[in-house]
Amino acid sequence: MLIDAHIHLDQYKERDIPTLLEEAEHVIAVSMNLPSCEKTLKLAEAYMKVKAAFGFHPEQPLPSNAEEEALFRWIRQYSHEMVAIGEVGLPYYLRQEKAIDVLPYVALLERFIVLAKELNKPIVLHAVYEDAGIVCDLLEKHQVTKAHFHWFKGDEEVIERMISNGYFISVTPDCTYETEIQQLIKKYPIELIMVETDGPWPFEGPFDNKRTSPWMMDHSVEVIASIKGLTTQEAARIITRNTTIFYNL
């Protein structure tokens, strides 16, 4: 079975979680905000397969100063219970909908990067297209190398930069029908690739009207194997090893 490198497990109905977990070796359960972190922690305590990541998703209004301080205090308090800081990053899609000042988001992200370095934890990043360059600047500034860009999309220049720095990406089931993601897989070394679902986010193509679940990663690995000229078993072994080592599972 595969490791789901990025899933919002706290957003599923509780009754569905045991079935979902039967389909994966482990799941990296990321968080959206403090209440989400608290729920993710409870899931990690209840299920051995669940590995928690704590953070603040950038595609939402910023927390107040009091909320931000409470979140950082909480993460430090429960840092021994998490495998990573995440999900954190920059609000690319939110900025497509309305004009917002990105600089406070950059400042919050930088604070998370500093925290990841302080706690010696990997960081899980939501950063696509031009935002990825800003994030690379911050990672390089603070010499943080253990970075995972989930569901990444970007141009040739930033892809080369990320590869050079040894940053990981993870691929969602949309690789089965999105040419852009297939081209990314072709360019990116398999030694730096993981797979994820980003569930419960829904997918199209062969997954239309299906609940997003870890079994979908099998199809992602088949695509990766085909592009890389490997057997499905070889690709699955490499990807699982990548995720196990990156998250120290």
Question: Do the Cβ atoms of 85 and 58 come closer than 8 Å?
Answer: no
Collapsed DSSP state (helix, strand, coil) of residue 49 = coil
Integer angstrom CA distances of residue 143 from 118, 136, 137, 166: 11, 10, 10, 12
* Average pLDDT, integer, range 36-58: 98
**All residues at 6 or more sequence positions from 180 whose CB lies less than 8 Å from its CB, including other chains:** 153
Give the tens place of pLDDT for each residue, 144-176: 999 999 999 999 999 999 999 999 999 999 999
* Rounded-to-integer distance, Cα 118 and Cα 220, Å: 34
Say what the pLDDT of residue 93 is.
Answer: 93
Number of domains forming the structure of the chain: 1
Say what the pLDDT of residue 1 is.
Answer: 86
Domain CATH code at residue 88: 3.20.20.140
Rg (CA), the chain: 17
E strand segments, 127-185: 147-150, 168-171
**All residues at 6 or more sequence positions from 143 whose CB lies less than 8 Å from its CB, including other chains:** 117
* Rounded-to-integer distance, Cα 106 and Cα 236, Å: 35
Give the tens place of pLDDT for each residue, 207-238: 999 999 999 999 999 999 999 999 999 999 99
Query: Which residue matches tokens 């899933």?
Result: 7
Domain of residue 146 covers 3-246
Collapsed DSSP state (helix, strand, coil) of residue 46 = helix
* Rounded-to-integer distance, Cα 214 and Cα 170, Å: 14
Beta strands 3-7 and 193-195: pairing type?
unpaired
Average pLDDT of the chain, as a whole number: 97
